[in-house]
Amino acid sequence: MGVEIHPTAIVGKGAELADGVSIGPFCVIGPRARIGADTKLRSHVVIDGATEIGARNDIWPFAVLGGPPQHTAYKGEDTRLVIGDDNLIREHATMNLGTVHGGGVTKVGSNGLYMIESHVGHDCLVGDNVILTKQATLGGHCLIGDYVIVGGLAAVHQFCRVGRYAFIGGLAAVVKDVIPYGSVWGNHAHLEGLNLVGLKRRGFSRESINTLRAAYRLLFADEGTFQERLEGTIESYSDSAEVMEIIDFIRADASRPLCLPEREV
The DSSP letter of residue 68 is P
Closest to 127 measured CA to CA, from 89, 165, 172: 165
Has 193 been annotated as catalytic?
Answer: no
Out of 44, 71, 119, 122, pick the active-site residue: 122
Has 92 been annotated as catalytic?
Answer: no
202 CB burial (10 A radius; 0-12, 13-18, 19+): middle
> Rounded distance, CA 97 to CA 53, Å?
13
Cα 222 to Cα 21, 216, 229, 255, 261: the distances in Å are 56, 12, 9, 25, 10
Closest to 168 measured CA to CA, from 120, 158, 159, 153: 153
Helix 206-219 with 226-237: angle, nearest 10 deg: 150
Out of 38, 85, 123, 128, pick the active-site residue: 123
> Rounded distance, CA 73 to CA 251, Å?
31
Out of 109, 121, 139, 140, pick the active-site residue: 140
The DSSP letter of residue 178 is B
Has 123 been annotated as catalytic?
Answer: yes
> Rounded distance, CA 123 to CA 142, Å?
7
- Return the active site residues: 122-123, 140
